[in-house]
Chains A and B, each alone.
Chain A
Amino acid sequence: MELISPQRRTNNFWAFEFAPLASGVTERPAAEPPYRTIGSKLCVLGRKSFDGLLGHSHSGTRYRLQEASGEGRGGEYDHWRQHLGEDVFSDNGVSRPTNSLNPMKTIMAFERRWAAREVMGTQESQRETDSRRAGRIAGHESHPFECRARGDSGDEKLCGCLVRSLRSPASLPSNAAPPPRPGRRRPQRPQRRRREVRGAVRGKADSCWRLPASRRSIKMPAVSKGDGMRGLAVFISDIRNCKSKEAEIKRINKELANIRSKFKGDKALDGYSKKKYVCKLLFIFLLGHDIDFGHMEAVNLLSSNKYTEKQIGYLFISVLVNSNSELIRLINNAIKNDLASRNPTFMCLALHCIANVGSREMAEAFAGEIPRILVAGDTMDSVKQSAALCLLRLYKTSPDLVLMGEWTSRVVHLLNDQHMGVVTAAISLITCLSQKNPDEFKTCVSLAVSRLSRIVSSASTDLQDYTYYFVPAPWLSCKLLRLLQCYPPPEDGAVKGRLVECLETILNKAQEPPKSKKVQHSNAKNAILFEAISLIIHYDSEPNLLVRACNQLGQFLQHRETNLRYLALESMCTLASSEFSHEAVKTHIETVINALKTERDVSVRQRAADLLYAMCDRSNAKQIVAEMLSYLETADYSIREEMVLKVAILAEKYAVDYSWYVDTILNLIRIAGDYVSEEVWYRVIQIVINRDDVQGYAAKTVFEALQAPACHENMVKVGGYILGEFGNLIAGDPRSSPLVQFNLLHSKFHLCSVPTRALLLSAYIKFINLFPETKATIQEVLRCDSQIRNSDVELQQRAVEYLKLSSIASTDVLATVLEEMPPFPERESSILAKLKKKKGPGAVSVSDLDEGKRDGGGELNGAGERGPESSVVATSNTSTPSPSADLLGLRSAPPVGSAAQGAGSLLVDVFSEAGPLAPASGVNDDGFLSSEDSAPPLPESDELLNKFVCKNNGVLFENQLLQIGIKSEYRQNLGRMYLFYGNKTSVQFVNFTSTLNVQTKPVDPLVEGGAQLQQVLNIECLSDFSDAPLLNIRFRYGGALQNLTLKLPLTINKFFQPTEMGSQDFFQRWKQLSLPQQEAQKIFKANHSMDKEVLKAKLLGLGMALLENVDPNPENFVCAGVVQTKAQQVGCLLRLEPNIQAQMYRLTLRSSKDTVSKRLCDLLAEQF
């Protein structure tokens, strides 16, 4: 690059670049030469006095730039430096009209162009030269734009920015761009032509960018639109010129240092500079860099009385909110002043700022003020609009601070406002408020209906500027329809009639020929239509409208607009659940299946799959499941998992014969094994175990499936489990003899991951039990080094234990330990729960998934691995000091010795590291852990507990927010309790914890609105106890912390083992337990019905055996049972003598342990 003397200038090429030195430029000493070279670019700074610009005589210094390549392309450019502010100002002074009527306006308009555009224009030219040269090298004049349209991005490397894509110089005459003419509004108009060229190539895709000439000609006022912050424009173009990320960062750091020093400098900055620097900071922030200063200056700008400065100040605050409370106070002050100013422009700015920041501090400061502004009679319309939306934002962030008051009724009447803009803004607020307080805003329904009817029936010209592409007020119509969806159908017949009429009109309009071919027209029209259909679906009471809506959507299913197909599928999904339109939706099944197969867009296919799922019922389940399965083979990875869940659910839900179900699931695993989550295969096993009619078929099918040379690991899991349980059902066939089965399974062993291998080992030990003939082979396998010395502890332990078990245990023991799985309790399919979670707010999807898996896993694995380990785990927990010792240390009396030695205690959750509960004697409330801040047990908790003495399932607790359900099962000294926490609200509970005063696994901290959370407790009774564990539940609902403590309905009688005995035995034992402390007796008044059957049911629920014909008095009841604890077994005998005349009972309990007698007696006295 060289500087060529001004005399040798050639034609008018005006390559001119501000090289990255803008901040330096401003401080350049006057003595330096007015140019500088940076890299390959030359930066020239003209010298020009401001006087010259106003038409005084001047002598601009001319420089000519020429590229070092010597291509002959050079250019001349006149540059002035202008000291307005302190920015570099450049212009072509030659052609400036000096007799402009308003020189200032010209200057400013001009400045703006130049500050922003000139820099770019020159870049373009530069690039244009480059690309043209490139074209020439390639041997043809390539059209840069066509290049782009063909998707050739050869030009993008030039700077990675978009100058060319929008301002590509394609249509420029080859001998360069004309020099700018200040007299014209836009010096560089050629780009408009370019855009048209491009439009021709691209077609309709971006038609907006070629607005019709009529609209283009609308004149903006000749004010300057930029306010001449040339320093900013220079800085931006510098950044855009940076060739690398590093250069950009360097440039930014330099600028930051400069700004910092300016802000810190002694010289007070004037408003303009402050504004400029704040703007630069904002730009840097928007580039993605952190900004940690400048807030103070921005706040200073807020209090400026110059509009532009204020505006930039507010913008900065809105974009870069800082939680700095000191600052917020200052900002609030400025806002307060502006709100009080009664200047509508300032008020709007302040309201915008509140809405943009929307922080709690602001809500505290202004939540009272804004409603006043909103309903005040003298507020300007524009301020009203801003106030309505500002209030909405505050209400969304801090609903508790926005208090309803007399303003509410006046807000509703804004629906009648004459100004459509006010209605549009207000309706958003009203919709949000009515969702939360439907009753207070009930009156809005009739107002909304009449407004809607006025809009719907108006001609497209009636609403003037609120008509959008011939559609009258589409936004407002949609909002009105949305508002109506907050309410049930209007009760008033006239209102309802009018509304139905509106909806019919909207449906009719959809059939009319379009008034315009523009996509905007059809979009706006259909937006209203879809919203109307949503309302029809919401009401779900007008079969006629529902069917019409369905037919309309059916038409859209085959529309050529992808967007409409997408929306039609989505909307039909909700229609499918209405009883009136379900059948109508079903008629479109072929179209939907076709969409699933042929749509090119995955999101549309996803909707089609959703719709198929929604329209599925018993009549078409087989077809739909088959289609979905075949689609799965080619489905996109992103939706496979969900598809798998859906297929699994449909298969289960509509299974008529379970062999079809088993086939489907095995197919599913075969086709999309990787996407089959744990829940799916757990579920198939649960179902096979629970239905004995399908077990043989399942065993046969998995056996066949496993014979495939490559089968998915999930298939091996299912196969291992099912053959382990039901392999005997197919062992009769020599093709699937026990040894063949075993060899088949074992051939997959080495390809599998550790958990699957562990499962297979369990299957092997079951084989030993099922088929003694395989014992030797399997023992051989277990004994080999790769098993018994496996580096994985789990595998090694299983191998060792199973080997030992198989060699020392008698066949009886083996048969007991490895007995067939008992049926699983019927409950909501874990797959369905998972799908629900998946579909719910996805914010916590990962943890949700874990939770889901753990639930399912606990259930199956716990059961699958029954046998040696579970008892091992339990024992180790009870006998070793647990890691929860710190928690235990909270207790008043430290635990002495081991709980196993007759201490009254319960071990809850044998699989977690729960510690033993209470010290040996005197299990009382002090003995329990109590976390300091948990609430005391509810007063009714004893009563709630008593409800569960004689039953195992039911609702433990319920209030407005929460319902806690319990399901429990007990066997001997073990129990499992399912706690279901149901969120009865529509808002999610956060920070949900439920802790027992013994340790449990944490539960999922979020409970979505309407959702249910499940917690499983595994319980082992170590010794007898009298106080129930305390269950503390804490969560946040809205803002408020909820804290409640209940007694877990776990009583000693749950561990009863009924004992049948004859009369003689009974009395013999009764007599044996004759020590005074062994007996507990109570005489009490009947609280409940004394009906014999009721009493019987209660006693049976108690868990003891009810002995008939023992007591000589047939009115009396006697029972016998043994309380099973880990430490000991306590035999119990009971006698209940009702006295119907006196409405009294006498209850006597005798047991070998005084505490047990007493506790049982206390418990039971409350039951009758």
Chain B
Amino acid sequence: MRFMLLFSRQGKLRLQKWYTAAAERDRKKMVRELMQVVLARKPKMCSFLEWRDLKIVYKRYASLYFCCAVEEQDNELVTLEVIHRFVELLDKYFGSVCELDIIFNFEKAYFILDEFLMGGEIQDTSKKSVLKAIEQADLLQEVAMIQSVVLSLGQ
């Protein structure tokens, strides 16, 4: 996978993840172009399209478009399910996820994505193991949090 974008129906980018190096300017241009192409498509159209030398696989969930760019020879349907699995992960973590969760907890969304995909390839397809990793991180975080509160109380 070359990159993954999440953007809203209004064309606001919510999350971007790049798995290949590219100049920031090119990235912005690609994002703009791609959003235009995808947003212009009607609901019943197929989820795949050829764009530049890439294959784009996208799916819309409520107001949010999940859009992956994969190589020519990659399997489209599996990519579609990668998106779905990611949405499921978000959903389970945030508990009925919505776009706002992704906006306000963008860092969490990145962490979840990192646990699921790495360097553009699937790291683990099991929902349990991905969420376990995130939960462990949250537990660590809580410990740190309590420490800091206790500290501030002590002052």
B126, A166: Cβ atoms under 8 Å? no
B80, A475: Cβ atoms under 8 Å? no
B145, A116: Cβ atoms under 8 Å? no
B77, A523: Cβ atoms under 8 Å? yes
Contact of A382 among B81, B94, B133 (CB under 8 A): B133
CA distance A312 to B111 in the complex (A): 9
B100, A311: Cβ atoms under 8 Å? no
B126, A465: Cβ atoms under 8 Å? yes
Kindly state whether residue A706 has any CB partner on chain B within 8 Å.
Answer: no
Closest A residue, CB atoms, query B139: A223
Hey, which chain A residues are within 8 Å of B139, CB to CB?
221, 223
Give the residue among B105, B123, B152 with the most A Cβ atoms within 10 A. B123
**CB-defined interface of A601-619 with B at 8 Å, one 1/0 digit per residue?**
1011010000000000000
CA distance A1041 to B60 in the complex (A): 46
Hey, which chain A residues are within 8 Å of B45, CB to CB?
562, 600-601, 603-604
Hey, which chain A residues are within 8 Å of B12, CB to CB?
160-162
A468, B125: Cβ atoms under 8 Å? yes
CA distance A483 to B97 in the complex (A): 35
Hey, which chain B residues are within 8 Å of A290, CB to CB?
24
B residues 99-155 near A (Cβ < 8 Å) are 99-101, 103-108, 110-111, 114, 118-129, 133, 135-142, 144-146, 148-149, 152-153
Q: Is the interface of A mostly helix, strand, loop or mixed?
A: helix
Which A residues fall within an 8 A CB radius of B?
50, 84-85, 104-105, 107-108, 116-117, 120, 156, 160-163, 165-167, 185-186, 191-192, 195, 198, 205-206, 208-209, 211, 215-216, 218, 220-221, 223-228, 233, 236-237, 240, 272, 279, 282-283, 286, 288, 290, 306-309, 311-312, 315, 318-319, 321, 345, 348, 351-352, 355-356, 358-359, 382, 385-386, 389-390, 392-393, 396-397, 420-421, 424-425, 428, 465-466, 468, 473-476, 478, 482, 520, 523-524, 526-527, 530-531, 562-563, 565-567, 600-601, 603-604, 606, 840-843
Contact of A345 among B16, B63, B140, B146 (CB under 8 A): B140
A603, B48: Cβ atoms under 8 Å? yes
B75, A315: Cβ atoms under 8 Å? no
CA distance A359 to B22 in the complex (A): 11
Counting from the closest, the 8 A-B pairs by CB-CB distance are A393-B119, A527-B77, A421-B124, A428-B121, A166-B98, A307-B140, A165-B63, A562-B46
Closest A residue, CB atoms, query B84: A520
CA distance A1073 to B48 in the complex (A): 78
Kindly state whether residue B13 has any CB partner on chain A within 8 Å.
Answer: yes
Contact of A424 among B96, B106, B125, B152 (CB under 8 A): B125
B46, A223: Cβ atoms under 8 Å? no
If A392-B121, A421-B124 touch, whether A227 touches B103 (CB-CB below 8 Å) is: no
Hey, which chain A residues are within 8 Å of B92, CB to CB?
215, 218, 220
Q: Give, as a whole number of angstroms, the nearest-CB distance from B21 to chain A.
A: 7
Q: Give, as a whole number of angstroms, the nearest-CB distance from B94 to chain A.
A: 7
CA distance A358 to B2 in the complex (A): 13
B residues 46-62 near A (Cβ < 8 Å) are 46-50, 52-53, 60-62
B46, A565: Cβ atoms under 8 Å? yes
Closest B residue, CB atoms, query A51: B153
A208, B48: Cβ atoms under 8 Å? no
B81, A527: Cβ atoms under 8 Å? yes
Closest A residue, CB atoms, query B8: A162
Hey, which chain B residues are within 8 Å of A397, CB to CB?
21
A216, B110: Cβ atoms under 8 Å? no
Chain B contact residues (Cβ within 8 angstroms of A): what range?
35 or more
Hey, which chain B residues are within 8 Å of A192, CB to CB?
96
CA distance A604 to B76 in the complex (A): 14
Known A161-B10, A209-B96; 9 more pairs at CB < 8 Å: A192-B96, A205-B60, A311-B111, A386-B118, A397-B21, A420-B126, A474-B78, A524-B81, A842-B53
Hey, which chain A residues are within 8 Å of B50, CB to CB?
603, 606
Kindly state whether residue B91 has any CB partner on chain A within 8 Å.
Answer: yes
Number of A-B contacts (CB under 8 A): 273
Which B residues fall within an 8 A CB radius of A?
8-10, 12-13, 15-16, 19, 21, 24, 28, 42-50, 52-53, 60-64, 75-78, 80-82, 84-85, 87-88, 91-101, 103-108, 110-111, 114, 118-129, 133, 135-142, 144-146, 148-149, 152-153
Q: Give, as a whole number of angstroms, the nearest-CB distance from A926 to chain B.
A: 45
Q: Give, as a whole number of angstroms, the nearest-CB distance from B19 to chain A.
A: 8
B108, A226: Cβ atoms under 8 Å? yes
If A220-B135, A604-B46 touch, whether A225 touches B75 (CB-CB below 8 Å) is: no
Give the residue among B84, B92, B125 with the most A Cβ atoms within 10 A. B125
Give the residue among B42, B88, B105, B145 with the most A Cβ atoms within 10 A. B145
CA distance A306 to B137 in the complex (A): 11
Give the residue among B12, B62, B92, B118 with the most A Cβ atoms within 10 A. B118
A209, B16: Cβ atoms under 8 Å? no
If A355-B118, A842-B53 touch, whether A421 touches B85 (CB-CB below 8 Å) is: no
Closest B residue, CB atoms, query A278: B107
In the assembled complex, 9 residue pairs joining A and B whose CB atoms fall closer than 8 Å, in A order, are A195-B98, A206-B60, A208-B88, A209-B61, A224-B142, A226-B105, A311-B111, A425-B122, A566-B48
A223, B144: Cβ atoms under 8 Å? no
B77, A841: Cβ atoms under 8 Å? no
A425, B124: Cβ atoms under 8 Å? yes
Contact of A220 among B16, B93, B101, B121 (CB under 8 A): B93
B76, A116: Cβ atoms under 8 Å? no
A225, B93: Cβ atoms under 8 Å? yes
B123, A389: Cβ atoms under 8 Å? yes
Hey, which chain A residues are within 8 Å of B103, CB to CB?
236, 240
CA distance A272 to B147 in the complex (A): 12
If A385-B123, A424-B123, A473-B125 touch, whether A223 touches B142 (CB-CB below 8 Å) is: yes
CA distance A318 to B78 in the complex (A): 26
If A104-B149, A162-B99, A527-B77 touch, whether A308 touches B141 (CB-CB below 8 Å) is: yes
A530, B77: Cβ atoms under 8 Å? yes
Give the residue among A160, A161, A351 with the most B Cβ atoms within 10 A. A161
Give the residue among A120, A224, A279, A527 with the most B Cβ atoms within 10 A. A527
CA distance A163 to B142 in the complex (A): 29
